[in-house]
Amino acid sequence: MSRPSGFPTASQFELVDSPSLELVPGSALVENLWLSVDPYMRQLMDSLWPVGEVGEGRALGRVLQSLTPSYEPGQIVFHRQGWRTHAVVTPEDSRRIDRVPGVPLSAHLGILGGTGLSAYVGLKRILQLQPGETLFVSAAAGGVGTVAARLARLLGAGRIIGSTGSAEKAKWLTTEVGFDAALNYRDGSLAEQLAAAAPDGIDACLDNVGGEHLAAAIDVLKPGGRIAWCGAVSTYNGEGDVAPRNLFDVVEKGLRLEGFLVRDNLDLRPELIDFLTPHLQSGAVVSDETVVHGIEHTVDAFLAMLRGENLGKMLIQL
């Protein structure tokens, strides 16, 4: 086990058996059902994840035993104790998930979880997206990107354009997710493709990539346009430049560029759940997911997600 330099490899991770977990008063033992792998985890591996220990990560588990009145056996809880089959949680470091008919449990790690909340915060709080506006979403086939398109459609966006890394993904985004246009950034200049897809310019951008994707958005944004900067996945393995080549155009065009972290906007979570639940129940919205089965394949799923092999949210089902 070691910290990755550049793109991680499977040899830098190890699946181990750990001693039995012991309950203490005020805690509960949960058996994990779903695990999440996310781009931000690659950043944590540079210094914040302790080598030789389980790293932080979102999970959903079923309560097996409880020594707290807050949880009863059989209830589902959300926690952040990472890639493991079982965990001991307390009400202070976890929360109960109420099952709702018509809403898949996995949605609470995807469209109703931190992934969906990232998209919601970007569109509602940062961009304040208005009906009829043209929106550009980078990393459109990932977890945040797919939710952003579905939310933007519900919010009345006029035209939704996404960027992705293959023709197959681009077709899926337009036929299944609801994008009006999807651009394969490997097909040539992304700025030129975006300008052709939005000849009148774009009003707003939710960027998850940084670098040339952010530069393309700055090129094509209308004067006074807005950018919500959610991430820079193109740089997480130490490759490429975070800052776009045309950053000063933000000044020239009077653009607003605002970065955000979802953890600073958790107050919007109840609003997101209330907003999306009826649409999930009716089938008007689905939770786009790629599911890998088995704890032993968690690292494979994580690396595949970093390579962009997922459609929607990448999840592990135990």
Could you tell me if 256 and 303 lie in one domain? no
Quick one: pLDDT at residue 308? 86
With 0-12 / 13-18 / 19 or more C-beta atoms within 10 angstroms meaning exposed / middle / buried, residue 251 is: exposed
- In-domain check, residue 282: no
- Provide the CATH number for the domain around residue 169: 3.40.50.720
Domain count within the chain: 2
- In-domain check, residue 281: no
Could you tell me if 125 and 252 lie in one domain? yes
Query: 150: phi > 0 → left, psi -120 to 50 → alpha, else beta; which?
Result: alpha
Could you tell me if 176 and 243 lie in one domain? yes
Could you tell me if 59 and 32 lie in one domain? yes
- Provide the CATH number for the domain around residue 32: 3.90.180.10
Write the DSSP string, the chain: ----SSS--GGG------PPP---TT-EEEEEEEEE--THHHHHTTTTSPTTSPPPB-EEEEEEEESSTT--TT-EEEE-B-S-SEEEE-TTSEEEE---TTS-GGGGGTTTSHHHHHHHIIIIIIS---TT-EEEESSTTBHHHHHHHHHHHHTT-SEEEEEES-HHHHHHIIIII--SEEEEGGGS-HHHHHHHH-TT-EEEEEESS-HHHHHHHHHHEEEEEEEEE---GGGTTS-S-SS-TTTTHHHHTT-EEEE--GGGGGGGHHHHHHHHHHHHHHTSS---EEEEESGGGHHHHHHHHHTT--SBEEEEE-
Could you tell me if 132 and 255 lie in one domain? yes
Contacts of 6 (CB under 8 A, 6+ apart): 237, 238, 239
Q: What is the pTM of this model?
A: 0.91
Residue whose token pair is 């997600």: 305
Handedness of CA 284, 285, 290, 291 (dihedral sign): negative
Q: Say how many CA atoms lie within 13 Å of 100 toward its Cβ.
A: 17
Could you tell me if 176 and 251 lie in one domain? yes
Could you tell me if 161 and 209 lie in one domain? yes
Contacts of 134 (CB under 8 A, 6+ apart): 157, 158, 159, 160, 161, 198, 200, 201, 202, 203, 204
Successive 10-residue mean pLDDT values, the chain, 318 residues: 72 78 93 92 72 83 97 97 93 94 95 96 98 97 96 97 96 97 96 98 95 94 96 63 83 96 95 97 95 94 89 96
Q: Domain limits at 294?
A: 10-109+288-317
**Residues 243, 158: Cα–Cα separation, whole Å:** 29
Quick one: pLDDT at residue 88? 95
- In-domain check, residue 183: yes
Quick one: pLDDT at residue 231? 80
